[in-house]
Structure 1
């Protein structure tokens, strides 16, 4: 018998593609959790730069301050950014196919990230309210890939690790919310859920990319092409795309806290993936 279904992890990623911060309590707005993906690194044309191309980005760490953020990278002097110092010039940003106006930060930040990544880049800020409105979701989204939040159950990771050739961590999947006390891939069947003060609509399954194979502590590739090799054997569709976790859209604003019970308000028929694992 499973334990009571509850929230066991909350994570935010202040700068897209960099290290996350675990939280015990968080404010969920309609754009997602406060401070999540509020910054993005782009090239000089405004196209996002991520750890898919520069895997060492995952080793850049953020610490939140009342007036901004402190950034640290291996072998570099830490960078203290105050929101009050931002230039805030409008700059068109491109996240996948979405184009929208973001805001410049500082020349110091641009230089710091350019050195950390080894390419000419800039740091952009989405502002107090993102200008990126996604019509099909009917909500604003920060610099996240497509949806405001992502949820994965601990049971799903446990099942992956039961099959995988080496242990994989939840940090590789960069999820916002972790749910304990449910069966593996129970999240596939959720349509609408409530956690703490917030109700969520469950969106599409999250298609996974090469970034899951980057060790979040070192920025190096995981051994034996994990977890892609294992996920492709039991979480892939007919086109070979692999899925792990479910995207979420908050229907209201409020506080969530570790230990909050999960309430399943509506369910759906889950996608069935062929299991070719031997």
Structure 2
């Protein structure tokens, strides 16, 4: 069976619900629209569903350049168009990496502040925003945690679900690209791949955090620490953490589609995980 793209997805606001796509334009800083908005507190620190699970219930849709957001606890939604933002930026950081965010509107700040019961501001990754990846400092990244693209595979998720007490949805891991047709965790060995006309490089395994314990449909946290507890039995990198999926950078821009074949251009040695299942 050939390797194929089975899912594409973006998360325009950091921590919001997924928007599934049939195709997407690939930019060096990520899929178009992915992680272009982020919330910050009064100190300029970024906020995510790790601490504010309600963010995972924000529904998002995109029409042209306009992002529409709604939440079950808010009576009205908001529509956000970056063409209407003033040219004002504030300093913030993501995991101690400085980045400037373009201010949006006090209207949106109020909407999110009421939702979280906390004074916050919504910022946008605008033309003057600049941030680069740590292991490939020549390549840009928007408001994603570390790298522009996250790839997972259906076979690896099935293997995880067969290994633990909980059936985990792929949405828990918030990938941009999902592949089908491979053996479980074969993605560890893919150094460079081609999807459509775009070449991606596998930079590192993706370390997983408490975010994965949130149910994407209810925002409730798993009482048993799943799936991290099961992943720790066979996907643990000493002194770093448990992993699921791989972080990618793109070598060029283009467009990719669900159904595209995946070509492995170069292989690598996978990390020697110890399987304690």
Query: Which TM bucket (shorter chain)?
Result: over 0.9
- Count, aligned residues: 275
Report the alpha carbon displacement of residue 133 of structure 1 after superposing the two structures with TM: 2.8
1:43 aligned to which of 27, 31, 41: 41
Structure 2 gap segments, 5+ residues each: none
Report the alpha carbon displacement of residue 61 of structure 1 after superposing the two structures with TM: 1.3
1:164 alignment partner in structure 2: 164
1:276 alignment partner in structure 2: 276
Distance in 2 (CA, whole Å) between partners of 1:118 and 1:198 is 42
Distance in 1 (CA, whole Å) between partners of 2:220 and 2:79 is 26
Shift in CA distance, 117/153, structure 1 to aligned 2, threshold 3 Å: same
1:5 alignment partner in structure 2: 3
Report the alpha carbon displacement of residue 223 of structure 1 after superposing the two structures with TM: 4.7
Deviations 1:45-103 (A, max 9, x none): 22110000011110011111224211101121111112232223111121111102221
Report the alpha carbon displacement of residue 130 of structure 1 after superposing the two structures with TM: 4.0
Give the conservation status (yes or no) of the 8 Å contact 1:232–1:240. Answer: no
What SS does the corresponding residue of 2:256 show, helix, strand or coil? strand
Give the conservation status (yes or no) of the 8 Å contact 1:133–1:139. Answer: yes
Deviations 1:99-143 (A, max 9, x none): 022210000111111111221111000014741133641111100
1:148 alignment partner in structure 2: 148
Give the conservation status (yes or no) of the 8 Å contact 1:130–1:141. Answer: no
2:209 alignment partner in structure 1: 209
2:97 alignment partner in structure 1: 98
Give the conservation status (yes or no) of the 8 Å contact 1:133–1:141. Answer: yes
Matches within 5 A, 1:20-59: 20-59=18-57
Structure 1 gap segments, 5+ residues each: none
What SS does the corresponding residue of 1:71 show, helix, strand or coil? strand
